[in-house]
Amino acid sequence: MSDMNPDNQPMTPEEQKVYQARQRQRATIMGGLLFFLVILFYLITIVKIDASIQ
Amino acid sequence: MTTASTSLQNLASARDLFALTKPRVMSLVIFTALCGLLAAPGALHPVLGFTAILAISLGAGASAALNQWYEHDIDAVMQRTRSRPLPAGRMDRDTALHFGIGLSFFSVLLMGVAVNWLSAAILAFAIFFYAVVYTIWLKRNTPQNIVIGGAAGAFPPMIGWTAVTGDITVMPVLLFAIIFFWTPPHFWALALFVNSDYSKAGVPMMPVVAGRQSTRKQIFGYSLILAICAIAPFALNAAGLIYGVVAILLSIFFSALSFQVMVSQTSEPADMAAEKRLFKFSIFYLFALFAALVADRAILVV
């Protein structure tokens, strides 16, 4: 990256590829985490409701 | 730095974000928290128990991220930490800060909403203690950094315990004290044989400021206090025979290794066999002690 202009240089095709791969990876992981949290909060709610009934 | 490389830094990889949470340190936190949770009297629904451990882990990860955000300059100097995401230039500081703060709030809210607010309050204080009191205030200003900063690492079993009971009694305080007094011998043993690295980074670790011999004496002193704290649950009838026997044997061995460190005169890190032995054993000590506590409780329940 040393041959790049520090002011306003666009990414090289290789860097763009890395950038997009990271975006995809982060989006996939974030989706998985959100799904996990939906399940977790659902279970917590059921447990809390169950405890309040008993 | 170029605009393109800045863009890549701003979008840190998931692997680097995970590395920012210090997963290896987190494993000890998870273990001690789990032991606190399992050894506590009473029962917590497995879903809530899992959530409590998850919240504690996320809180520990958040503290680690904030620690690395602040210590990027020290990390860049030390061999051991040079390849972390921030000093290696794979992530920008703002990302680490935002990640750490976001994770802190989320972990505390998760604990409060799902488990109880006492545990959430202790978790919040533990994060604050590690990120602000230890990292920002003490670490660069006093050789007692490890002693007081060790309190941050001592909270997880206490939080695990209060997640079940909802109150603080003698036992969670003793669990806190065990890790609190275990930390100085553990870290100073390490600091003795990686001394040069800490000096290079300008961190006032005890061996750098007070010298090796003074540190060695203090290691032995703390190991004796640790032994008292470790045996106290048995002596106070708060733990059974299994824990008592394990605690006594482990503490005798720990004190013996600390004594070897105290009488050692070595100044060459390569020759510090006693210090390396104590460091390795200290990790086993904590795992075995807490495992014995859980085994003791499990047998008592059966």
Residues near A2 by beta carbon (within 8 Å), at least 6 away in sequence: none
DSSP 8-state symbol, A4: S
DSSP string, chain B: --HHHHHHHHS--HHHHHHTT-HHHHHHHHHHHHHHHHHSSS---HHHHHHHHHHHHHHHHHHHHHHHHHTHHHHHHSTTTTTSTTTTTSS-HHHHHHHHHHHHHHHHHHHHHHT-HHHHHHHHHHHHIIIIIIIIIITTT-TTHHHHHHHHHHHHHHHHHHHHHSS--HHHHHHHHHHHHHHHHHHHHHHHHTHHHHHHHT---HHHHT-HHHHHHHHHHHHHHHHHHHHHHHHTTSS-HHHHHHHHHHHHHHHHHHHHHHH-----GGG-HHHHHHHHHHHHHHHHHHHHHHHHHHHHH-
Residues near B205 by beta carbon (within 8 Å), at least 6 away in sequence: B143, B145, B146, B188, B191, B195, B198, B199
Residue B146: the pLDDT is: 85
Dihedral sign for Cα atoms in the order B101, B155, B56, B60: positive
DSSP string, A12-53: PHHHHHHHHHHHHHHHHHHHHHHHHHHHHHHHHHHHHHHHHH
Measured between beta carbons, the chain B residues lying within 8 angstroms of A25 are 13-14
Measured between beta carbons, the chain B residues lying within 8 angstroms of A9 are 2-4
Do residue B45 and residue A51 have CB atoms under 8 angstroms apart? Answer: yes
- Which chain A residue has the Cα nearest residue B111? A44
Give dist(CA B255, CA B226) in Å, integer.
9
Measured between beta carbons, the chain B residues lying within 8 angstroms of A23 are 11
> At residue B140, what are phi and psi to the nearest 5 degrees?
-95, -5
19-48 of A, contacting B, C-beta below 8 A = 19, 22-23, 25-26, 29, 40, 43-44, 47
What is the interface pTM, i.e. ipTM, of the complex? Answer: 0.79
Measured between beta carbons, the chain B residues lying within 8 angstroms of A43 are 47
Measured between beta carbons, the chain B residues lying within 8 angstroms of A40 are 47, 51, 54
Residue B106: the pLDDT is: 97
Do residue B8 and residue A29 have CB atoms under 8 angstroms apart? Answer: no
Give dist(CA B21, CA B40) in Å, integer.
27
Q: Look up tokens 């006594």; give the residue.
A: B248
Residue A2: the pLDDT is: 40
Give dist(CA B179, CA B77) in Å, integer.
29
Residue B195: the pLDDT is: 59
A6 band by pLDDT with thresholds 50, 70 and 90? very low
pTM, rounded to two decimals = 0.87
Do residue B4 and residue A9 have CB atoms under 8 angstroms apart? Answer: yes
pLDDT, averaged in runs of 10, over chain B (302 residues): 59 87 89 94 94 97 96 88 90 94 98 97 96 91 86 94 95 96 93 75 82 93 98 94 96 97 86 92 95 89 62
Q: How many CB pairs under 8 A join A and B?
A: 56
Measured between beta carbons, the chain B residues lying within 8 angstroms of A4 are 2-5
For A15, which of B4, B12, B47 is closest by C-beta distance? Answer: B4
Do residue A44 and residue B8 have CB atoms under 8 angstroms apart? Answer: no
**Which residue, among B133, B136, B125, has the nearest Cα to B149 in the 3D structure?**
B133
> How far does the CA of residue A35 sit from the closest CA of chain B (Å)?
15
> How far does the CA of residue B116 sit from the closest CA of chain A (Å)?
12
Do residue B114 and residue A1 have CB atoms under 8 angstroms apart? Answer: no
Residue A3: is its pLDDT beyond 50? no
Tell me whether A7 touches chain B (CB under 8 Å). Answer: yes
A33 band by pLDDT with thresholds 50, 70 and 90? very high
> How far does the CA of residue A46 sit from the closest CA of chain B (Å)?
10
Do residue A5 and residue B2 have CB atoms under 8 angstroms apart? Answer: yes
Do residue A19 and residue B7 have CB atoms under 8 angstroms apart? Answer: yes
Distances (CA, A) of B168 to A51, B155, B165: 23, 12, 8
